[in-house]
Amino acid sequence: MKTIVYLFVVVWVLGAAVAVAGPGGKHRLSVADGPAPAADKLPPLLPIVRQAILAEAAGATIEDCQRSTEEGEFVYEVEITRKGVERSFSVGLDGGLRSRQYFLAELPAAVQQTIAALKTRGELGNIYWCNEAGDLVYEVEIGSGADKRFCTVAPDGTHLATQRQFSELPPPAQKTITEQARADTISSVSRDETEVGEVFDAVLLRDGRRRIVSVNAAGAVTATQVLSVQTPIAVQALLPRLLGEAKLIYLGECNEEGATVYAVIAMRGGQREECVVDAEGKLLARVVSLASLPEPAQKYLREQAAGARIVRIEKLADGTFSADLDRNGRKQVVTFTAAGAAH
């Protein structure tokens, strides 16, 4: 299944309230936090953009503001100094906050723990909270120079993806992505860390629209991002009931053991939710965390996963659990009950 890195919808949609949201959607800064910043270094801006920048920069000095393009979207990158500390953030043309720089000690404990493990791969660089097409994640710079990579981490600490250069991909994967892109621009490629083995997610752009194609090392397409209207009627009917007030950020058509299923990723209250449904509109599984399992189930899975990496845990429709383990590059599936027994 897919858990995508830098994800996914065709249109960025952020309200003014999100323009001052931090990790998990919680308010972090407002004009009440300090005096209004000097705005003389701001270029001519749309009122909604100017308002968002001044709110985010409250109590700070604006050092610079430059317009740039990120995956086909214009954003304003702003550098500020607050209490002698330099930070940066970016705002979209709709006034929505796209990114905000953080320091390690300011992050949730689960995210800090994941980053501590990633630091073994290289020097820790900048850390940004990002809204990536509706997906609220942390982008972490690891390494330096030609070895620098961005790793994507979810608010719950899940390591979602690691940036790759297109030239680093196996030739079959390069060939398939190029064929899938056709007239699209290949914006970025990352290795999906929520899959066993090498699966690469390519972000493709055309006329401001973005889509994700996932390909394995052998060049086979494992998932393709689709619109809800491109899914079977039964899936379309299920989505509103499934999502409720949550925001859909990715819908992917996947091939799982010869059957077509759909991966649904949404944000609810600043947290990611992922589930899998079949073509008949039946909920097959929900992705869950190790910490959310009953204690007997946690104990059983830890014992079974000794010496392996727990990649993904799903709660199935019958109430049992299935976990994908990466054991030296080979996939191992463990199924078990809430009571901690094999299933």
Digit-coded pLDDT (tens) for 294-313: 999 999 999 999 999 999 99
- pLDDT at res. 42: 86
Q: Do 33 and 116 share a domain, yes or no?
A: no
- State mean pLDDT over 36-57: 84
pLDDT tens readout for residues 216-234: 999 999 999 999 999 999 9
**Model pLDDT, residue 40:** 62
Place of tokens 């607050």: 82
The pLDDT of residue 24 is 41
Q: Looking at the structure, do residues 115 and 221 belong to the same domain, yes or no? A: yes
Residue 70 lies in a domain: yes
Checking 140-148 for CB contacts under 8 A at 24+ apart, the result is: 140/115, 142/118, 147/122, 148/122
Residues 86, 157 share a domain: no
Same domain? 250 vs 314: yes
Continuous H helices in 75-222: 109-118, 171-181
Which residues make beta-bridge pairs with 85?
82
pLDDT above 80 for 21? no
> Considering Cα of 271, then 152, then 250, then 94, what sign does the dihedral take?
positive
Q: Give the mean model confidence (pLDDT) for residues 69-93.
A: 92
In a domain, 263, yes or no: yes
Does residue 11 surpass a pLDDT of 90?
Answer: no
Residue percentage of the chain with pLDDT more than 70? 88
Residue 270 resides in a domain = yes
Do residue 221 and residue 234 come from a single domain? no
Dihedral sign of CA atoms 285, 287, 290, 293 in order: negative
Cβ–Cβ under 8 Å, residues 92 and 15: no
Task: Kindly state whether residues 118 and 201 are assigned to the same domain.
Answer: yes
Residue 82's nearest CA partner among 65, 64, 58 is 58
Mean pLDDT of 249-274: 92
Across the range 146-168, mean pLDDT stands at: 92
Q: What is the pLDDT of residue 39?
A: 60
The residue among 232, 233, 187 whose CA lies nearest residue 210 is: 187
Average pLDDT, the chain: 87
CB 169 within 8 A of CB 203: no
Domain finish residue from 225, 257, 286: 225
Domain of 198, in residue numbers = 110-124+136-225
Is 309 part of a structural domain of the chain? yes
Structural domain count, the chain: 3
Same-domain check for residues 251 and 287: yes
pLDDT of residue 43: 87
Same domain, 155 and 221: yes
User: pLDDT value at position 258?
Assistant: 85
262 and 167 assigned to the same domain: no
Task: Judge if 180 and 213 occupy the same domain.
Answer: yes
Q: Are 236 and 279 in contact (CB under 8 A)?
A: no
Report, as an integer, the average pLDDT of 83-101: 95
Distances (CA, A) of 101 to 131, 191, 206, 236, 261: 12, 23, 28, 37, 37
Alpha-carbon distance of 2 to 13, in angstroms, equals 22
